[in-house]
Amino acid sequence: MIRIYDYVLSGSCYKVRLFLSILGLDYEAVPVDFFPGRTHKSPEFLEINPLGQIPVLEDGDLTLRDAQAMLVYLAGKYDPARTWYPEDAEAQGRIAMWLAFAGGELMNASAARLHDMLSYDFDIEKVRAAAHDALRVLDDHLTDVEIGGGEWIVGGGPTIADIACFPYVALSGDGGVAHDDYHAVRRWMYRVKKIPGFVVMPGIFEN
């Protein structure tokens, strides 16, 4: 069975849980005491992931770190229709671009959230400004998509690009980064919540 080392408040862990649910896959969640226990930095956990980060996914003999890599793997192995990660090179390149965005620029929203919720020592004004910059990029892109008659970040249907970007956009309010000025983003979040198999986490609701 698939196993995920998990922290229920982590947006990165949530994106993997969300995709597992959408794919209808059974899995075992192994709780990690990220805060306050910081067991992800323990010698035992560093044997699993030497970077000391969550989530970690195990499937048979395979161990993966990085949530975006997990989405690629799960889509490639468990979505035979290849709708979530299409096989053509152009789509894969565009999806990879947004996966990098989810694991890069959008993580400023995560940093703001960690600051406000768990008192992490970040320059809060700097990370909030960077999070707003990222939301503007996504909102501009989704506005162009909607003008062209589309609804999703890449292509005609939802892909792992949408799953990767969704959590820390949806959770950004926890870090003082509101969605009020990002109308296309708000419409897109509503569409994501209507995907069959969608599940919630603390701070993210169905409506």
The Cα 49–Cα 99 span in angstroms is: 21
The 10s digit of each residue's pLDDT in 144-175 is 999 999 999 999 999 999 999 999 999 999 99
Q: How far is CA 74 from CA 23, 51, 88, 154, 207, in A?
A: 9, 21, 17, 18, 27
* Arithmetic mean of pLDDT, 113-122: 91
Instruction: Return the pLDDT at 156.
Output: 95
Same domain, 74 and 93: no
Same domain, 93 and 120: yes
Contact residues for 96 (Cβ-Cβ < 8 A; gap 6+): none
The pTM score is 0.96
pLDDT bucket at 99, cuts 50 / 70 / 90: very high
Same domain, 33 and 104: no
Q: How far is CA 190 from CA 19, 84, 113, 185, in A?
A: 17, 18, 21, 9
Instruction: Return the pLDDT at 36.
Output: 86
Q: What tokens appear for 7 in the block?
A: 């922290």
Q: Is residue 20 part of a domain?
A: yes
Q: For residue 97, what are the domain limits?
A: 89-193
Cross-strand bridge partners of residue 2: 27
Instruction: Return the pLDDT at 51.
Output: 93
Whether the CB-CB separation of 15 and 192 falls below 8 Å is answered with no
Residue 39 has pLDDT above 90, yes or no: no
Instruction: Return the pLDDT at 137.
Output: 98
The Cα 202–Cα 52 span in angstroms is: 23
Q: Domain boundary residue among 78, 111, 135?
A: 78
Residue 35 has pLDDT above 90, yes or no: no
Contact residues for 59 (Cβ-Cβ < 8 A; gap 6+): 2, 3, 73, 77
Same domain, 185 and 93: yes
Q: Is residue 203 part of a domain?
A: no
pLDDT bucket at 68, cuts 50 / 70 / 90: very high
Q: Domain boundary residue among 78, 104, 132?
A: 78
Instruction: Return the pLDDT at 62.
Output: 98
The Cα 95–Cα 79 span in angstroms is: 16
The Cα 35–Cα 21 span in angstroms is: 25
The 10s digit of each residue's pLDDT in 100-112 is 999 999 999 999 9
Whether the CB-CB separation of 199 and 21 falls below 8 Å is answered with yes
Whether the CB-CB separation of 135 and 177 falls below 8 Å is answered with yes
Contact residues for 46 (Cβ-Cβ < 8 A; gap 6+): 52
Same domain, 11 and 95: no
- Total of domains in the chain: 2
Same domain, 104 and 63: no
Q: For the chain, what percent of residues have pLDDT higher than 70?
A: 100
Q: Is residue 204 part of a domain?
A: no
| CATH code of residue 38 | 3.40.30.10
Instruction: Return the pLDDT at 38.
Output: 85
